[in-house]
Every structure is written in C-alpha cells, then in structure tokens.
Amino acid sequence: MSTITVPFTVTFPNQGQTTEWDKCSFSLSDAQDASNPSIKRPIVNYGQCDIVGENIKIDTFLFEDGACKKWKVTYSYKNWCTGDEINTISGLPIVHWYAFKDVTAPVLSCTTKCLQQIQTTESKWWMWSSSSVRSISE
C-alpha cells in the first residue's frame, strides 16, 4: 500500500490586484462569500488528513472624507497538523484590494448661510452670506 502526499500550497491569480466594490462597506462576511463572483480568494491545496485554518485581516483606507474607500484584504493560512504557515507568495503578503468610489453627487441645501459667487473682471470670489437662498450659475 502506498500513500500520496499532497503538499500544502497557496496560489492566488489575483494577488495584489484591485476589484471595484459597489458598497461603501466591506466586512469579513463579504470576504468569505464564495457565492459572490466579485470576491477574489486564494486557492489553498492540502492533503485529506490536514486541517488548515484561514486568517483574514481587513484594513480600511478612507480618501476624501469617505467618498472613496479601499480595503486591503490580507490572507494567511496555517496547517494545524504540520505547523506550516503560509502568509506570502513569492515573498509578498497574500493581498487583494477592493475599492469603492461614491459617484452619487451630494444634495446641498442652504438655509441660513449660503455660498454666493461674486465675479470681478479679474477673478471669482466666494463669500458666505446670511441672506436668502440664491442659486449660482456660471
């Protein structure tokens, strides 16, 4: 009788890439959602007698007061049976990025203070006024 040993390996075709994300939040349950085609996950190979654990770390980066967000999702794996740990591929952390960009224009309302445009012959000036609401047109 012979045994076949399957090596413990991790590959990730999407390593270091960015996927556009359509929500303004990204959670651990999102990262684990295998049914969502937008989620990019590493491929983990191991033998039938191995027990492999996965650690997912999510770092959130906010840009322009949250109008744009990026999430850095870092993966690491540990083989409980052998003690082997894989947290890099070719010396780099196992990472995939998700990016959200808010393209919905804000609705501005002005009640007691409004931004008014004063145009001179040389430049445009903006000032705050506590007078009535005025629309500004170019």
Burial of 18 (0-12, 13-18, 19+ CB in 10 A): middle
* CATH code: domain of residue 52: 2.60.40
Question: Where in the sequence is the domain holding 77, given as residue range(s)?
Answer: 9-101
Residue 3 lies in a domain: no
For residue 110, being part of any structural domain is answered with no
Q: In the prediction, which pLDDT does 133 show?
A: 44
Give domain status of residue 122, yes or no: no
* 137 within some domain: no
Per-residue pLDDT at 8? 94
Question: The pTM is what?
Answer: 0.70
Is residue 20 within 8 Å of residue 39, measured between CB atoms? no
Residue at 131 is within a domain: no
Q: Would you say residue 126 lies in a domain?
A: no
The per-residue pLDDT for 114 is 56
Domain contains 109:
no
Cα 114 → chain centroid: 36
Q: Is residue 114 part of a domain?
A: no
Mean pLDDT by 10 residues, the chain (138 residues): 81 95 93 94 92 96 84 97 94 96 72 53 50 44
Structural domain count, the chain: 1
